Structure 1
Amino acid sequence: MALSLFSVLALASFFASTIADHEAVQEYSWYKDYYPLPEDYCFNGCYTAADYVTFDVTPAEDADNYYFSLCSNDLKIKSIFYCAQKYCTYEQAVAGRNKMSPECEGNAGFPLPTVDSMRLSQQALDQISVINSTTGLATAPPEGLPLTTPIVPDQEWVDLSIRTVKEFYFNWDVSFDFSFALIGFWGLVLLIGIAHRATVFLGKAPGSGESSWWLWARKNLILPATFSKHQAEAVAWTYTIPPRLESIILFLYVIMNFVMCFPAYNLFVGNQYYAAKKLQLARYIADRTGFLSIAQLPMVWVFAARNDPFMWLTGWSFATYNRFHRWIARISVVHAIVHSIAYTVFEFYKYGDASGYNLSWTAEYWYCGGIATIIMSLMLLFSSYFFREKFYDLFLMVHIAMSIIFFVTLWYHVKIFSGEFNYFLYPCIAIWSIDRLLRIGRTAFISVMPRFTKGVKATATYHCTTEMVRLDITDFMPDKKIVPGLYYYLYMPAGLRGYESHPFTLCSWRRSVSNATSPTHSINDKEVETSDRLISSEYSPGEIAHTMLVRPYAGMTGRLQKKLISSHTSVTSSQETVFLEGPYGEKLDLSNYSDVLVICGGSGITAAISHTHFLMAENPDTRIRIAWAVPQRHLPDDICANELASAIHTNRVKMTVYLTSAAEEEAHDPAKLPVHPPYDIKFGRPHIEGIMRQHRQIATKSLAIVTCGTPQMSDVCRKAVGNVLGEEGVEVGYYNETMVW
């Protein structure tokens, strides 16, 4: 929360400083206001030609200011107007003058005269010397002789100048249109997602059958991994490959970006800006990729926000949005690198050596652009799967800090265009700021406001045998109903690293009467007879409790574990101040299914707990089956004595525990097994596809498969569901609740 507040304040301070800047800020109404339109080309062509001529005038007071030198040069201004009178229509001259006047007045304080005030009689205009480009360029010092009177460029020179202006800004026009097309692409993708979401609400109930084309789409496009079975599991610890349909969308987007880099480069001899074709090509590619790079940013920010309304409108998971965020950002970085390389080549070609290139680094827009590109490249490197998985907290802090540096340097990089590219930057500021403020608001509502009543203390309990931390947060949400599918970001503000947050699934359950007073009751203190399952078929819930089951790793959870085990007892607990940000996700109601199979691993049992208690209350007929892979039996014993105590002994709930790391002697010695456990025990890893087929055969009308576990388990489950779909049997729904970092 502190880091989010810092981000908002940093951006607000930066934005306020730019408003106070005395540089001219464009008062625009549409994105083409910055550069000349077709009706301005003729006047701009005259300006381009006349600008190559050197006139004998007293140097301007501020000679380093281009517009000051141009607009204060009376002979040059007259030459432009006389040229426009000779070659342009009256309307073209007025339009061109109106486009140029704000630049002179805003940047130099010299408003241009009107077209009418500069108009000559035809006889007087015929007296003005007409020169060609060779003569004009020969006026440049040191060998040239500056002119002392206005001139008019000849027709050929003006035509070349007009074509130069036209082709240069045509490239800009196409680049802007392509940039907005990229945004339109994602707008269309989101629109399709929203339309699909709407059809879900109006669709058939599970068990009523599904069309053959939709079954084919699920089996071949929506569910499968792109290649083989790898989707959640990283490739070479570097990156993950999205599911097949997402990969197809991203592949089309990559092709779209690639194709947009090349059209509309009209190179010609006689270009008044850049004589050599290689100069023209380098500049055009640099501009195009610069446009395409900055155009990605609004989508990068949209798909990174936790509080994204499109997430609810489409029903897509945060994992899907996060994958889009990463791949769009990678495309933006590639464009930025090409943009920088092309401009570097352009500068070398332009000056013929490194002197001009070295001089470019003294310009603010240039070195700020260089810094922005370097920062983007480093962010791409440090956001690889390896760093996110091994050093998530450090990654997140560095990622936010580098994002701020990148954004500020990018702002100053494009500031020379007087706001033309702010159409892409302002949405980023708005999205980021609103998201951070909503995060702070959500955290305050759940975790700060209760301090005035019951406080924000959670009971943290650690079992050395289960190696799991249980956070009891019931007092935070005493009236909260059981809603499967929700998760919260957990902060522990004590200490210097209180800004760290991790997402955890909310585990909501009903305490039975026997353990309603203690959320940490152990199965060792509660003997369960086998006959209980036969005679206790009714669900007799007690109060609603809310916990989070935390598997300690490095960082915040590791520090909590070390604190709890300091007393050297098997079970330790303490009161911890925690902040919760959320809820995120959305309610996952599977009560329309006749059967629900939850396949989970380790702490993924949290998904099974919430679904079990929700379904027991919502639908008296839904049967719940849980297949749980866990290293040792201590954790299942503990969960059955607490979170599942009021449900595991009914006929509607059956759990099979797969002990993946059980000792060999334990597997063969019945005396070492728990006495009458309320679950079936099997040894070794579960055969997930076989489990799915088995439960599909015994399902009465429809089967929902919920998975929650490691990335490797998630990939195996996804592939298994794809294999099962299309086979004879009841309708199958698939829901993956694996948390993605």
Structure 2
Amino acid sequence: MPSSTTACSLLRLFMNMIMADGSGSLRDILAFSLTATTADTLVTSQDISTNSKNHGSDKLVKGILFSRRFILSYQAVLLALLLCFTVSNWTSRLRARKPPRQPQRLKGTTRQVRLKDSSLTDTKAGLSLAEDSGGGSSSSSTIQCNSPSPKHSIMIRESEQTPLLLKSEPPTRDSIWLRFSQKSRSILLYQPRTIPLINKTLPSNGTTLLVLALLGIQVFYVFYRMPLSVPTLFVLADRTSLLFVANLPLLYLFAAKNQPIKFLTGYSYELLNILHRRLGEVMCLLALIHSAGMIGVWYTILRPVGFGLARFLLSKIILLGLGALVAYELIYLTSLGSLRQRWYELFLVLHVTLQIVALVLLWFHHHGSRPYVGVALAIFLVDRLVYRMALKLDTSITSLEVTKDQGTVVLRTSIPLEQKHWFLKRLVGAGVAKGWTATEHVFLTVPALSRKHFIQAHPFTIASKAPQTGDLKAELNLIVRAQDGFSGDLLRYARGHTSVKVRLDGPYGSQNGLHMLEQCDVSIVVAGGSGIAVALPLVWAVHASHSVNDLEICQDMKSGPRTILIWVVREDSHTSWLGSTEIRELRDSGIEVIIPPPTATNGKPDVPRLIESYVVSATRNSHARMGVVCSGPDGMNRAVRNFCASFLASGYDIDVEIEKFGW
């Protein structure tokens, strides 16, 4: 943005020449105003205030001066909000670091309760929950594909006071503040229905409020003390341009995979990406308002004195601005969900290319925007080049396995782990050779597929156990469901090859779900389809954490925290993504595994009812803390989220995290 002295001098000189001289010297003044710098414009307000016809320009000058002072507070507001979210996040994390809570002990024996209704399971699917008593997996369970039966048995732990029939009654809460807190959290957690007609999936109420707060700040900074009239169009156009460039660093921070906001606030990349998209849409609107305002300035001020539209649009500063506008509007159009999901490769190339073009055009559009453009470009280059191309990039030879369903490829590779320089990963992040944690993902590049795939990187969650401290190597598996584009090409390649050289950029991701489950007495992880890539390493990590924190668990699995995995598959062959050996290891370790009958032949199971059975049994004689993590299609995620919201409102101590595995 230009300095206040420059802007005011140019504007006053420009307005005075229009009113005093008509169109005689307008051409020279406009040419000068479009190219002048601070050193060139030595005309002060005192030099031009002697003209008696400058009252209109004085109003515009005051508006511009205020806008330039006012916009400086925008960064301060953002920093203050970041500080508040940081304090809240780290306060919660410090509380969680206290000695682990003793798991709720449910005294008494274990017996089988026969339900006379189907309130806890899906009778249409013919599901039967049965305790697996074979071998060392006495505490694990599975859904068996038996013939449909209206009666279903559930193994629950009971005391002498346990009623004969289960009743979904919430535990008693005496604290008014606690009830108010749970009601509020329930409302924020709830996810509304999809918007009809346009089929737009809405986020949770909490995310929506966060987005609305961000939008509210933008509206405030646009319209605060902004006189809405034709003579002040230039002030409105100027204010929107100031806010646009002030948002550039924040826009690129939200989009960066390596950035401090996630570390400070604990917000996941997925949430920050939502904020990135909404802020980008607002900025596109700001650019349109700025352009429309400048056209209005031409129409109301320049056109009456004979300055043509073509001459105005072909001026250097205007032409560069229009180029930047077109670039950002194209970014918006190519980022729409329908195009992004159908042509992800095209979206990726255009998104990066248009971003660079837009920044270059903004740099030359006006020298006042260069500090913000420079910061945004630095964020982009540091994220893309320093981190993703240097610190986090690894190459590896992976084996290729086409699973039984003939539509999925599993990539497996052994990663030698580096034991030294562990602080590098802690401070600035590092590649997979420094290890990874559950739920993290990598960007996969397979140059052997074709030339176009040499520069493409696609995100996939690491579907294997996270390495533990002291491990010398770890197995890294990726599950790739074949669709169009990259995944389809990879499947065709895998049918003729057993291995391929790949590039792995990462790991990235949030550990919010893992941290939450580690503090729970009952941990339920729900996966839909390829969401097992998130669920598998998560249940292993949670189970390992519980085993380390409570030595009694190693002696008696039934008396400690419980870890349950519910995996909904479309076809029986999809279980081959893990294999029978992996599933058996889960059960032998004490993790309860539930795999309902395939949805292709039995319909969708009532997942919330399955969760309810564990919630009710866990809280029968104690106030157990429960955590649910779900990774699946949007419909399943919403159903699980809203179920947990309703139970939270009823007084249960339950938390939920949604790990969305689609981009």
From the superposition, tell whether residues 690 and 738 of structure 1 become closer, same or farther in structure 2 (CA, over 3 Å).
same
Q: Does 1:488 align with 2:454?
A: no
Matches within 5 A, 1:454-533: 456-465=396-405, 467-475=407-415, 477=417, 483-494=437-448, 495-496=450-451, 497-509=453-465
Partner of 1:653: 591
Give the alignment partner of residue 186 of structure 1, picking from 64, 70, 78.
78
What is the distance in 1 between the residues matched to 2:91 and 2:656?
Answer: 17
- CA deviation string 1:138-196 (max 9, x = no partner): xxxxxxxxxxxxxx99x9x54653x5554323222332344344444433432222122
What is the distance in 2 between the residues matched to 1:331 and 1:623?
Answer: 45
From the superposition, tell whether residues 579 and 332 of structure 1 become closer, same or farther in structure 2 (CA, over 3 Å).
same
Give the alignment partner of residue 568 of structure 2, picking from 629, 632, 638.
629
Q: Does 1:396 align with 2:357?
A: no
3-state SS in 2 of match to 1:553: coil
What is the distance in 1 between the residues matched to 2:34 and 2:232?
Answer: 30
Q: Does 1:224 align with 2:151?
A: no
Partner of 1:603: 530
From the superposition, tell whether residues 237 and 392 of structure 1 become closer, same or farther in structure 2 (CA, over 3 Å).
farther
Partner of 2:218: 257
Partner of 2:40: 103
Give the alignment partner of residue 724 of structure 1, picking from 647, 651, 656.
647
- CA deviation string 1:327-355 (max 9, x = no partner): 11111111111221222122122213996
Q: Does 1:639 align with 2:578?
A: yes
CA offset at residue 506 of structure 1? Answer: 1.3
Contact 1:689–1:720 (CA under 8 A) maintained in structure 2:
yes
Q: Does 1:424 align with 2:385?
A: no
Contact 1:290–1:339 (CA under 8 A) maintained in structure 2:
yes
3-state SS in 2 of match to 1:554: coil
5+ residue gaps, structure 1, are: 1-24, 71-98, 106-111, 116-151, 268-276, 449-455, 512-540, 567-572, 664-682
1:307 maps to amino acid: N
What is the distance in 1 between the residues matched to 2:582 and 2:67?
Answer: 58
Contact 2:14–2:30 (CA under 8 A) maintained in structure 1:
no
2:403 maps to amino acid: H
CA offset at residue 287 of structure 1? Answer: 1.8
From the superposition, tell whether residues 257 and 622 of structure 1 become closer, same or farther in structure 2 (CA, over 3 Å).
same
1:472 maps to amino acid: R
Give the alignment partner of residue 300 of structure 2, picking from 330, 333, 349.
349
Contact 1:46–1:158 (CA under 8 A) maintained in structure 2:
no
Partner of 1:695: 614
Matches within 5 A, 1:26-175: 32=4, 34-35=6-7, 66=32, 102-103=39-40, 158=51, 160-161=53-54, 163-164=55-56, 166-175=58-67
What is the distance in 2 between the residues matched to 1:263 and 1:738?
Answer: 38
- CA deviation string 1:560-590 (max 9, x = no partner): 1012234xxxxxx611111111111244243
CA offset at residue 616 of structure 1? Answer: 3.4
CA offset at residue 69 of structure 1? Answer: 13
CA offset at residue 500 of structure 1? Answer: 1.5
Higher relative contact order (CA 8 A, sep 6+): 2
What is the distance in 2 between the residues matched to 1:396 and 1:311?
Answer: 22
Contact 2:446–2:503 (CA under 8 A) maintained in structure 1:
yes
Give the alignment partner of residue 325 of structure 2, picking from 350, 369, 373.
373
CA offset at residue 637 of structure 1? Answer: 5.1
What is the distance in 2 between the residues matched to 1:32 and 1:470?
Answer: 60
CA offset at residue 617 of structure 1? Answer: 2.8
Matches within 5 A, 1:192-203: 192-203=84-95
1:66 maps to amino acid: F
Matches within 5 A, 1:584-599: 584-587=508-511, 588-589=514-515, 590-599=517-526
CA offset at residue 253 of structure 1? Answer: 3.4
What is the distance in 2 between the residues matched to 1:638 and 1:436?
Answer: 32
3-state SS in 1 of match to 2:443: strand
What is the distance in 2 between the residues matched to 1:558 and 1:338?
Answer: 42
From the superposition, tell whether residues 332 and 218 of structure 1 become closer, same or farther in structure 2 (CA, over 3 Å).
same
What is the distance in 1 between the residues matched to 2:32 and 2:57?
Answer: 18
3-state SS in 2 of match to 1:648: helix
What is the distance in 2 between the residues matched to 1:719 and 1:732?
Answer: 12
3-state SS in 2 of match to 1:349: helix
From the superposition, tell whether residues 425 and 353 of structure 1 become closer, same or farther in structure 2 (CA, over 3 Å).
same
Contact 2:599–2:605 (CA under 8 A) maintained in structure 1:
no
1:296 maps to amino acid: N
Partner of 1:321: 272
Contact 1:591–1:622 (CA under 8 A) maintained in structure 2:
no
Q: Tell me how many residue pairs correspond in the alignment.
A: 545
3-state SS in 2 of match to 1:310: helix
1:627 maps to amino acid: I
What is the distance in 2 between the residues matched to 1:618 and 1:592?
Answer: 9
What is the distance in 1 between the residues matched to 2:346 and 2:313?
Answer: 32
CA offset at residue 32 of structure 1? Answer: 4.3
From the superposition, tell whether residues 353 and 345 of structure 1 become closer, same or farther in structure 2 (CA, over 3 Å).
farther
Give the alignment partner of residue 542 of structure 2, picking from 608, 615, 621.
615
Contact 2:440–2:510 (CA under 8 A) maintained in structure 1:
yes
